[in-house]
Structure 1
Amino acid sequence: MHAKSIRHVLGVAFAALMLIGGSASFALADDRPNFLLIVADDLTWSDLGYEGNREIHTPHLDQLRTEGMHLTRMFTPATTCSPSRHALYTGLYSIRSGAYPNHTRVYEGTKSVFTHLKHANYRVALQNKSHVGPAASFPYEAIQGADDLTKTEAFIRRDPSQPWLLVYASNDPHGPWTRGPKKKYDPKMLTVPSYLHDNPTTRQLLASYYAEISQCDQQVGELMKLLKDCHEEDNTLVFFFSEQGSSFPYGGKWSVYDNGIRASTLVRWPGKIKPGSHSDALCQYVDIAPTLLEAAGIDATKIDVGCPDANGDTGFDGKNLLPVLQGEQEAFRDVIFSQQTTVGIHGYQDPYPMRAVRDNRYKLILNLAPDNTYFIGGIHRGQPTDSWRKDAQNNPQLAKRVEWLSHRPGEELYDLDKDPLETNNLADSPEHQKIKQRLRKEIDGWMAQQGDKGLETEMTAKSRQGKRKAEAKPKKGKNRKKAAT
């Protein structure tokens, strides 16, 4: 008997018992789906075949695109792996949860989607890269290894009567780019994206990066085949996320430009989501946890996340996306938010906190310490940046681009319809002042709700890193800097 059939029989029996005299906070029925979340690692949203880059071989992701919905405006609220993943799993923005620098952890008592679904009798696991903590907030079964799906299959098949959540967290295409089918990509034949400087070093690295994207695509294909082999493909809600951008300069990581925070996202759920559909609705990683709970029959609006915001609210920052996914709703969010914390990143020199708000057309960026020098090991030291600096000695235009990597004004405003790569700063434009003021009001309100004190919060970032015991969140009205040190 297939897993869905077994689950249906047990669900009917459970429902009968509830009618006799029991109660439950969730429904156990045959329509409770499994969940598979596939997370790439440092993949710029546009570097995929279905996104329009036909030089990159991603046949399995291209196929997945035809089988579900393409969310074209999904954003991560942070620019590095650890805070992004904490937001994805908790449904909370990074500063509220305490997980805002890289290599971080949430405040004690914070709950995750693993917590909530495990409580609802789901089996929960994470395979490969974790980058979240403490363990009490993320009570998943750890499955090691990204390329051998033997343990993955054992997890899926273990109990056909029990629904499950699996996060498959690939290591690809995170640098250094050493894996994948390198022979597919000839550096000399590639089209270098316009936001990168074209030289032999960039081309060689680009070819290696593309090979790891193909490696990730192969993993997606193997996972989808596994679902079919286990007769779970029709009862599993699948998400694919590209995560934040690559570690190329202007490739995205460590910046709140769209290359850094826009996450290419695919969603597949047979019978629930229209194949080949798409949505331009603004949405964020924080919306995923409440969406999964609602799909499991759990009222996400009644969940206590274990980490109140600055107003004392203990609900999610995210919202249920199901009406968008099922084609019942077009608009979702008016704006999205993101932040970058520099303190604690390898090789950083000065605090250089960034905050951003984006609507469907405009983005406002606040660089909260513009007189400092933005310098970290990832994009300001090593290749390809060193080769760019050398070329810039005889290239004034390139020299300006290299300089921009380290020094930016306090405010940046972009018209994304006309300037998708965010190169023409309109912050001082007289005709755009009302737009800037409107977005500034949005970002000020978000920072207040999060308990974000700007530079003061940046300076406490190191206290939120490492594997030390998670501190309880400072109570409302307390000075977070004092409480966190």
Structure 2
Amino acid sequence: MKFLMQCALLLSGILLMSTAETQAADRPNFLLMIADDMTWSDLGYEGNPDIHTPHLDALRKQSMHLTQMFTPATTCSPSRHAIYTGLFSVRSGAYPNHTRVRQGTESVFTLLKDAGYRVALQNKSHVAPPASFPYEHIKGADDLTETKQFLSRDKDQPWLLSYCSNDPHSQWSRGPKDLYDPERLSVPSYLHDNQTTRELLAAYYAEITKFDEQVGNLLELLEESGQADNTLVMFVSEQGSSFPYGGKWSVYDNGIRVSTLVRWPGHVQAGSNSDALLQYVDVVPTFLDAAGIDPTTVDVHCPDAFGNTGFDGRSFLEVLTGDQNSFRDYVFSQHTTVGINGYQEPYPMRAVRDKRYKYIRNLAPQNTYSIGGIHKGEPIESWQADAKSDPELAKRVEWLFHRPAEELYDLKNDPLEINNLAGNATLKDVQAKLSAELDAWMKQQGDEGMQTELEAVSHQSKVRQQKAKQQKGGKKKQGRKTNNK
């Protein structure tokens, strides 16, 4: 009898172990790799002939290339809050830079941790408060010692790691500069070609290669851990670079379009691509769906203007598996200047885009758009000097400081958004439809336009609030009449 009981206990233990291993195998690990201020087109696999990104190019061959992913914001902090929470920026409260979500909001770290995952973020965070983002923090981007320990801690427990480099964020001081001769670069047409631009571009490209090296080291570590086959790997380029028109701090595609790769062996076809319209807010629901959690049942404890407490995003898992070819009809974005280093006057922007057209609303066109990034220092000062003898360049420089109330672009024929078609009689219906969609989105978000812009500092840390108060320095122009339409 004792022998039979021992056998039964042994069999029970084997079954429990088998069940745990099966559950672990059914729930993938998640490796999210986020660059820092990288324009979507500045990669080898995206067609840039000058950039050396062998590891990301190899990953593209193993992945689905999502060609129409967009961030709903144009700076680091609101973009990262969106990709971690599944919520658009104004609704979550995280819409200025250096921001935080509303108290009680839950993130992918919260939700997967509650589901039995161990969760970590390596290097750059830029999200708050800690209660909403309960991750283990791994310091540094180049040293993978702690990363290796995290990946191999318990083979039966699935994990999420968000790996966040500082590259290629300016100032561009890292990476193999010998790979890039400023004189031999092909300067993108949206940038002004002069010596200053070329030298900065070479430094920026070197940091992209530095990031690519980090990706290679991380993927090699994942392979060595024996977990590559059960790990969903996603790479995103964040928002655009800090070059003028590059286009961080703008809602043009160079600012909000995101180069995205997803590798998941056995689920995602290697070398495939999809042009489905997607947003950062769709990432969390997709990760939960892949982990066997129904995202439509999740309460994120941050209601929208109508009292709904589910995600703004939804799962695009069927896009990844090839069972669905389209997803969103529209993508949205916003830009908040208040709270940015060096801002002078409020210059809020809102945008909506479908597959072909984009409509932009500048809420304070009578103000001057001026912040510490693209409007001061280099390369803009060299551009301004050159513009004194170049009328066409002078117009482009002026556009960086002053935009009309409305912009409309035909992205099929004008992908760089140069020819503003707002007010064009033949596109009257298109403009009206996109404007109505933008109105509906702002209403759902609780976005009150200029009033929301002016409240931005209250959504930053106390240190940032004090800095903004000092920076304001008695400016009185915020009370000017604004255009909320």
Moved over 3 A (4+): 8-15
Cα distance, 1:11–1:85 mapped onto 2, change above 3 Å: farther
Structure 2 length as normaliser, TM-score? Answer: 0.92
| CA displacement 1:202-238 (0-9 Å, x = unmatched) | 0000000000000000111111101110001100000
Residue 49 (structure 2) aligns with: 54
What is residue 231 of structure 2 aligned with on the other side? 236
Of 436, 444, 453 in structure 2, the residue corresponding to residue 441 of structure 1 is 436
TM-score (norm 1): 0.92
Could you tell me whether the CA contact under 8 Å between 2:282 and 2:316 is conserved in 1? yes
Identify if the C-alpha distance between structure 1 residues 11 and 114 changes in structure 2 by more than 3 Å, giving closer, same or farther: farther
| 1:265 correspondence with 2:268 | no
CA shift, 1:467, in A, is: 5.7
- CA separation in 2, counterparts of 1:126 and 1:9? 34
Q: Name the residue aligned to 2:132.
A: 137
Give 2:149's match in structure 1, choosing from 154, 169, 180: 154
Q: Give me the whole-angstrom Cα distance separating, in 2, the residues matched to 1:363 and 1:35.
A: 33
The equivalences for 1:86-485 within 5 A come to 86-466=81-461
Partner of 1:63: 58
Code of the residue aligned with 1:420 in structure 2: it is: P
- Letter aligned with residue 86 of structure 2: G
Q: How far off is 1:14 after superposition?
A: 5.2
Q: 1:28, CA displacement in angstroms? A: 3.5
User: SS of the counterpart of 2:32?
Assistant: strand
Residue ranges of structure 1 left out of the alignment (5+ in a row):
1-7, 16-26, 470-485
How many angstroms does 1:111 deviate by?
A: 0.2
Q: In 2, Cα distance between the equivalents of 1:310 and 1:29?
A: 38
Give the 3 Å change call, closer, same or farther, for CA 431–236 of structure 1 in structure 2.
same
Amino acid in structure 2 at the alignment position of 1:39 = I
In structure 1, distance between residues paired with 2:117 and 2:463: 29
Q: Is the 8 A contact 1:239 1:265 kept in 2?
A: yes
In structure 1, give the amino acid aligned to 2:123.
N
Cα pair 2:24 2:157 within 8 Å, conserved: no
Between the aligned partners of 1:462 and 1:9, the Cα distance in structure 2 is 56
- Per-residue CA deviation, residues 93-143 of structure 1 (Å, 9 max, x unaligned), is 000000000000000000000000000010000000000000000000000
Q: Distance in 1 between matches of 2:17 and 2:181?
A: 54
- In structure 2, relative to structure 1, the CA distance for the partners of 1:200 and 1:295 (3 Å cut) is same
State the one-letter code of the partner of 2:95: Y
Query: What is the CA distance between 1:161 and its match in structure 2?
Result: 1.1
CA distance in 2, matches of 1:69, 1:247: 27
Classify the secondary structure of the residue corresponding to 1:439.
helix
AA in 1 matched with 2:384: R
Q: 1:355 is matched by which residue type in structure 2?
A: R
What residue number does 1:472 align with? none
Is it true that 1:74 corresponds to 2:103 in the alignment? no
Does the 8 Å CA contact 2:109/2:134 hold for their aligned counterparts? yes
Secondary structure of the equivalent of 1:379?
coil
Q: Find the residue that maps to 1:35 and give its secondary structure.
A: strand
Letter of the 1:73 partner, please give it.
Answer: Q
- CA RMSD, 1 decimal: 1.5
Displacement of 1:9 in angstroms is 6.8
Q: 2 CA distance for matches of 1:387 and 1:224? A: 40
Contact persistence 1:12–1:29 (CA under 8 A): no
CA contact (8 A) 2:296 2:310 kept: yes
Would the aligned equivalents of 2:173 and 2:207 in 1 still touch at CA under 8 Å? yes
| 8 A contact 2:24–2:158 mirrored in 1 | no
Secondary structure in structure 2 of the residue aligned to 1:73:
strand
Looking at structure 2, the residues matched to 348 and 467 of structure 1 have their Cα atoms a distance apart, in angstroms, of 18
Q: What's the offset of the Cα at 1:13?
A: 3.5
1:42 aligned partner: 37
Aligned to 2:80: 85
Q: CA deviation at 1:468?
A: 8.1
The alpha-carbon distance between structure 1 residues 374 and 233, as it changes in their structure 2 partners (threshold 3 A), is same
**CA deviations over 1:290-328 (Å, ceiling 9, x no partner):** 000010000100000110000000000001010000000
Q: 2-side partners of 1:244 and 1:13: how far apart?
A: 42
What letter matches 2:421 in structure 1?
L
CA shift for structure 1 position 428: 1.4
Q: CA deviation at 1:466?
A: 1.2
Letter in 1 for 2:284: A
Aligned to 1:479: none
Distance across 1 between alignment mates of 2:173 and 2:461 = 27
Q: Deviations over 1:181-206 (max 9, x none)?
A: 00000000000000000000000000
* Equivalent residues of 1:81, 1:131 under 8 A apart: yes
How far residue 68 of structure 1 moved from its aligned partner, in angstroms, is 1.0
**Counterpart of 1:210 in structure 2: which amino acid?**
Y
Q: CA deviation at 1:266?
A: 0.2
Question: Which residue identity lines up with residue 359 of structure 2 in the other structure?
Answer: L
Q: Is the 8 A contact 2:20 2:156 kept in 1?
A: no
Q: Is the 8 A contact 1:44 1:245 kept in 2?
A: yes
Greater CA radius of gyration, 1 or 2?
2
**Aligned-partner residue type, residue 44 of structure 1:** T
